Structure 1
Amino acid sequence: MSTGTEVERKFLVASLPDLGQARAVQIRQGYLTSKQDTVEIRLRQKGDTYLTTLKKGAGLERIECEAEISQDHFDLFWPATEGRRVEKTRWTGTLESGSVFELDIFDGRLAPLTLVEVEFDNVAGAAAFQPPPWFGRDVTDDARYSNASLAAAGPPADGE
């Protein structure tokens, strides 16, 4: 189980980078809470690993508690996420700066949306981060791009 504060910035993707050195994993996740709730409870299948996650807060810095669960537990609760799901391929790689990126290429009704996130040890590190040219607009504070919002409402209507 992991618990703590998550500090991350999220960006649209202006152009796909070379992913030759990155690792890909299929992810499906669903939300047991609605986007109006003050906490988010998520189920996630990441390859052969099953997780439940609680997140609280929005934007740059949030509380996150995550625990691995069995496939049986995942399968038991998965039907309750109907209408609040996301499927994507996550590419994890390293930027020239040494920071790790997670690039999500969404499937289904969220395609062709592509987002990239970078996690930091602290807020100061996040503020100092200089994104590479392939990163697009910073959407860290745009709630429409949270996975919970995307799962419930779909991609933003403005098409950005």
Structure 2
Amino acid sequence: MEIERKFLIKALPENLETYPCLLIEQAYLCTDPVVRVRRQNEDYYMTYKGRGLMVREEYNLPLNREAYLHLKAKADGRTITKKRYCIPQDALTIELDVFSSPEGLIMAEVEFPTEEAALAFTPPDWFGEDVTDDSRYHNSNMI
């Protein structure tokens, strides 16, 4: 189960380059339900995501590079790319995504252990609008 809130960003945090960064490419085989393949640096996964906004099912399966490339070709160019900065925030991690495709979008995601924790979360000042309930900001809808 994935419990996650999403936010647009008003301003980038200071010293962004000091945080760990992942290079991510995601190709979508299906968007209802979401079935995608992902390259994250040199790790590869296939992910299934169920319906929902803040709370939904999520299953990740490891892939090798060859399987990833084979499945990526089936996505017919429905791909997004982004840099993900992992920023510690108390006991949580802010995943700040700077998209190359779609170009110019910057968004933060925060995953939570419970729905109660998600609802009680106070975002930092540099966060903008909460877009958790806006399905346009699901990565699968941005292709």
One-letter amino acid of the structure 2 residue matched with residue 94 of structure 1? P
Q: State the partner residue of 1:14.
A: 10
Say whether the 8 Å CA contact 1:28–1:86 is kept in structure 2: yes
Residues of 1 paired with 2:127 and 2:91: CA distance? 16
Residues of 2 paired with 1:30 and 1:117: CA distance? 19
Of the three residues 97, 105, 124, the one matched with 1:104 is: 97
Aligned length: 142
Q: State the partner residue of 2:46.
A: 52
Q: Secondary structure at the match of 1:107?
A: strand
Say whether the 8 Å CA contact 1:25–1:91 is kept in structure 2: yes
> CA RMSD of the aligned region, Å?
1.1
Of the three residues 69, 77, 83, the one matched with 1:83 is: 77
Residues of 2 paired with 1:91 and 1:76: CA distance? 28
Pick the structure with more strand per residue.
2
CA offsets per residue over residues 130-152 of structure 1, 9 Å max, x none? 0011001000010100000012x
Residues of 2 paired with 1:29 and 1:59: CA distance? 19
Residue identity over aligned pairs, in percent, reads 35
Task: State the shift of 1:84 in Å.
Answer: 1.6
Of the three residues 106, 128, 141, the one matched with 2:133 is: 141
- 1:60-79 maps to which residues of 2 (within 5 A)? 60-79=54-73
Task: State the shift of 1:98 in Å.
Answer: 3.3
CA offsets per residue over residues 82-140 of structure 1, 9 Å max, x none? 23210000000112x332100000003x1210000000000000000000110010000
TM-score of the two chains, using structure 2 as the length reference: 0.95
Say whether the 8 Å CA contact 1:21–1:93 is kept in structure 2: no
Give structure 1 stretches of 5+ with no counterpart.
Answer: 152-160
Residues of 2 paired with 1:22 and 1:98: CA distance? 16
Task: State the shift of 1:20 in Å.
Answer: 4.4
